[in-house]
Structure 1
């Protein structure tokens, strides 16, 4: 028995060591926003990007100052008409934006009002999976939208038909939701934690249902404008959910919920204390609430015989946090309510399809390995994977809370 426990923890330590050698990765979702007002031969562009995204432009990982940001964006953005470049009129200027975002205005004068094409090449060379959510408005009040990617950095206004630019629409947003799951290491990690904690298929249904309800509630709150989350807080909380699902797996496996609750709650309360001293980015009340929630949840989950229904409620809260990770970006823009609803519904549908695909694949792989008798004992698998999730989540949470990455 003693040897078995030693083997588990050796494997867990190996997983931790390997992860420390691997390159650190922050939230892999990379997005920016652009609003184009086209009035005849005049083009007014407002480009928005989060501080977290803008840090990619500096060697030390700190947000660039305004001249640095403008110097980077100026050659990457522009417009043309009938094959001729539109002239930049005046100097680009920064404008007010919500907390956690940077916004810059550009004005262009085109040689013609015909054959206008808009171009955005910012951040694609830094992150190949980067996307830009572009909204185009005309002086007549028409509104169209498109999604710019590394393979499609130009919008041809001559292809706008019936209020929709070619390639844009509901299915585009569904695809974005799918990519958000498949390219998001943090979301994939959280789903792995949900699969690990679910000993029965019934438990898995509970946790996935809770996560789905959380996304749906996020959708309603975002569309109605009841809640406008801070992007910099949400990214840190997403990392915290990964650490918590890993800690819960270990607490249940080792049957020492009190110890894990003490350490987890104590660490968060210590961070709250540092915030009172002016150290850190997250608000004191947020850290205090997170510490109390984490400690109580781990204690309750460790002593409830059937924690499936409890986890439905908790994963609903986690679903809210993960859902707001995307909603926070969208709410930085002035999008007509009908369009915002379409975008959020499509994206959320893509997220649900993506997460069901990931979970189904994981469960299928495990079932297949069991059939051919290639699986390791469940306790060893849980120890290794949960330790990995804790390390990953804690690293991201601390990095995002203290602006290390």
Structure 2
């Protein structure tokens, strides 16, 4: 027992610097909606409270005047090379829970050569992305992804009444970007690869995950269900920790011990909530503890857990689907584009996750053929320990942030 715990702590310590360096909100992003009406440009800028905390020294969300003061010099438009003037004062407006939203109005000197600009947060986080939605009064619609290397949108590229890049491929690109820039989702995929001893097992878990996130992505974007963003961020982190715990529990064949420890942590957090400490509801933490302990016990004693994991990863996929939808919930999606957006974004997510899984499996295959692969127990110990440490760090940070 002491040897097993000591081995876990030693391996987990190797990931300490990575976990503490990672921000609780692992994917830095914001949202903009631009409406171009002749020489007028209406802009709505949205950002999560977690992201906005980067602007203050005490890591608390800034007040509205602080946020607006930061955004004003970094957002704007120009026409024929001349800056568009800010018409009136920017004003904060209502947003979904956990987000901040500010509206701007710009008057341009011309209707020709309009260029939209957003440089907010890129100097703070070089990997920051802005998901921009552009509309015109004619009904044209497009989605663009702004990065540190591409902070402008040139409206003069419009051809035949449609902005260049609009359509299914734009939404596919958004889905791919969500996977490749989402460290938490990629970490979970790593856990799925680790737990799958056979290719058949990998098919089961990926299928369950796909069904789950596809369902809740559609429910969230169409407005059937609107979850609290901060709850989903925390639960996504918990799924990462749980997949790591399952890997270790199966590896050392001590599911009961890991089930008790996992339930104990979640029940303790539920107890703290009763005295007013923490963000997640008491019932959610209590239910998570009961689910996790029973899941680990069953997975540890079932001889062939592949089909069971299909059901479990379907449940985990439901949670991640709400995380995928966070990119889209803050945007006014035209009804005519809704089906195309859902199909394209989901295809992009699938392409991204299949790429990640294929690369991971390919690396393992090559290393085995070259006889450079480490024994599976060592790989699982190191990988699972890292997932537990990082997942719990993110979960606790997001639960008490």
TM-score normalized by the length of structure 1:
0.92
Three-state SS of the structure 1 residue aligned to 2:272 is helix
Report the equivalent of 1:18: 14
Equivalent-residue separation in structure 2 for 1:142 and 1:360 (angstroms): 37
Q: CA deviation at 1:101?
A: 0.5
Q: CA deviation at 1:349?
A: 1.4
After the TM superposition, which of the residue ranges 149-158 and 293-302 deviates more from structure 2? 149-158
Q: CA deviation at 1:143?
A: 3.3
Report the equivalent of 1:357: 355
Report the equivalent of 1:165: 163
Report the equivalent of 2:146: 148
Report the equivalent of 1:104: 102
Report the equivalent of 1:244: 242
1:179 and 2:177 are equivalent in the alignment: yes
Report the equivalent of 1:209: 207
Equivalent-residue separation in structure 2 for 1:379 and 1:144 (angstroms): 48
Equivalent-residue separation in structure 2 for 1:60 and 1:399 (angstroms): 15
Report the equivalent of 2:388: 390
CA gap of 1:28–1:196, structure 2 versus 1, over 3 A, is same
1:321 and 2:319 are equivalent in the alignment: yes
Please report the RMSD computed on the Cα atoms of aligned residues, expressed in angstroms: 2.1
Q: Deviations over 1:270-306 (max 9, x none)?
A: 1112112111111222212211111111111112111
Q: CA deviation at 1:117?
A: 2.0
Three-state SS of the structure 1 residue aligned to 2:15 is helix
- Structure 2: segments with no counterpart, 5+ residues: none
Equivalent-residue separation in structure 1 for 2:28 and 2:340 (angstroms): 21
Equivalent-residue separation in structure 2 for 1:120 and 1:182 (angstroms): 22
TM-score normalized by the length of structure 2:
0.93
Q: CA deviation at 1:41?
A: 2.0
Equivalent-residue separation in structure 2 for 1:252 and 1:160 (angstroms): 56
Count how many residue pairs are aligned between Structure 1 and Structure 2: 399
Match of 2:308 among 307, 310, 315: 310
- 1:4-403 equivalences under 5 Å are 6=3, 12-22=8-18, 23-403=21-401
CA gap of 1:141–1:295, structure 2 versus 1, over 3 A, is same
Three-state SS of the structure 1 residue aligned to 2:73 is coil
After the TM superposition, which of the residue ranges 182-191 and 314-323 deviates more from structure 2? 182-191
For the Cα contact (< 8 Å) 1:9–1:383, is it kept in 2? Answer: no
Equivalent-residue separation in structure 2 for 1:366 and 1:314 (angstroms): 25
- Structure 1: segments with no counterpart, 5+ residues: none
Three-state SS of the structure 2 residue aligned to 1:347 is helix
After the TM superposition, which of the residue ranges 185-194 and 331-340 deviates more from structure 2? 331-340
Three-state SS of the structure 2 residue aligned to 1:62 is coil
Q: Deviations over 1:167-208 (max 9, x none)?
A: 343223323322322332222211111111111111111001
Equivalent-residue separation in structure 1 for 2:284 and 2:178 (angstroms): 26
